[in-house]
A = this chain, B = another copy of it.
Amino acid sequence: MPQSRRDRPAKPALSRAGIVAVAVDLLHSEGLDRVTMRRLSAELDTGPASLYVYVRNTADLHAAVLDELLGTVDLAPDSTADWQDRLVQVLASYTRVLFQHPGLARTAMLTWPSGPHYLALLEQLLGLLAEGGVPTDRAAWAVDLLMQLATATAAEHSTREETKTGAEFEALRAAAQGADRRTHPHLTAAGAELFSGAGPDRLLWGLRVLINGVLATPRPE
């Protein structure tokens, strides 16, 4: 029992790829909450400090895990459809992946992913925009907006998931609906509309807004 480590074939040398792989396993088996430096180092039979040679910090680790998951995004759906529809489908697939792993979306908002799967996603989006005749300079900025919206939508959803019906979300809802009709006429008028619409509906509308807006708005200068 004490030296159960002896049973293992050998302690494999540490590497970034190996660390991330174990982290992905950990994510699937115990959830993102357990993908911590300490838990992960225990799994790798070493100490937390050892990981910092291969991983800048926890955010970096989570970003690497996320990029791994981005490999499952469907980059080429239904090639018969309109370029706009395909654009929406790709981004919907992206959010679907994030939806399955609450918490990673929040990481994605704070840390800029730069893994190969993320780059492939950007490449695909740029391609679709080019196909739609969007000028390159506009497209470069547009992917930013599109990804931001998709990520934020997923992050919002995951926040509401993890905090169990989202405490601060309810706080806002209560505050908005309890607002004084005199001092906040528009807010009370908007009322429930502010919170209406399931995640997907709002996302789809938002993406259309962005596409239409990008097509209509040249860059300054």
Q: Give A residues with C-beta under 8 Å from B.
A: 56, 59-60, 63, 106, 109-115, 119-120, 122-123, 126-127, 130, 136-137, 139-145, 148-149, 152, 155, 159, 166-169, 171-172, 174-176, 179, 183-187, 189-190, 193-194, 196-197, 201-202, 204-206, 208-214, 216-217, 219-220
How far is the CB of A129 from the nearest CB of chain B, in Å? 8
Contact of A190 among B139, B152, B159 (CB under 8 A): B139
Kindly provide the distance from the CB of A42 to the nearest chain B CB, expressed in whole angstroms. 26
Chain B residues contacting A148 (CB-CB under 8 Å) are 148-149, 152
Nearest chain B CB to A126's CB is how many angstroms away? 4
| Smallest CB gap from A178: residue in B | B119
Asked if B216 contacts A212 (CB within 8 A), the reply is: yes
Instruction: From B110, B185, B186, B196, give the contact of A109 (CB < 8 A).
Output: B110
User: Which residues of the other chain, B, contact A212 by a CB distance below 8 angstroms?
Assistant: 212-213, 216-217
Residues of chain B contacted by A197 (CB below 8 angstroms): 141
Contact of A186 among B115, B126, B194 (CB under 8 A): B126
